[in-house]
A and B are shown apart, each in its own frame.
Chain A
Amino acid sequence: MSLRPPEPASSRAPDVHAGRLLLGLALAALGVLWLLQALDVATIDWNLGLPIAVIAIGAALLVAGLLGHGSGGLVVLGIALTVLLLASTVVDVPLGGGVGDRTYRPTTVRSRSYELAMGRLTIDLTRIELPESLPAEIRASAHVGVGQLLVLVPQRLPCVATHAKSGIGGVDVFGRSREGFGAEYRTDAVCSAAPVLHLDLTVGIGEVEVRRG
Chain B
Amino acid sequence: MARDRDRGAIVFGVFFVVVGVAFLLDRLDVWTIRARYLAPILLIAFGMAVLLGARRSSRPRT
Contacts and interface: CB of A to CB of B under 8 A. Distances in A.
A184 B14 CA distance: 31
A6 interface: no
A57 to B, nearest CB: 5
Q: How large is the interface on B (under 10, 10 to 19, 20 to 34, 35 or more residues)?
A: 35 or more
B14 to A, nearest CB: 7
Contacts, number: 122
B61 interface: no
Q: How large is the interface on A (under 10, 10 to 19, 20 to 34, 35 or more residues)?
A: 35 or more
B44 interface: no
Interface of A: 11-12, 47-48, 50-71, 74-75, 78-79, 82, 85-86, 89-90, 167, 180-184
Given A51-B27, A52-B24, A58-B14, A89 B33 contact: yes
A181 B36 contact: yes
Contact of B1 (A11, A47, A65, A79): A11
Interface in B1-27: 1-21, 23-24, 26-27
Given A48-B27, A54-B23, A58-B17, A86 B6 contact: no
Contacts of B20: 51-58, 85
Contacts of A58: 12-20
A62 B23 contact: no
B10 A66 contact: yes
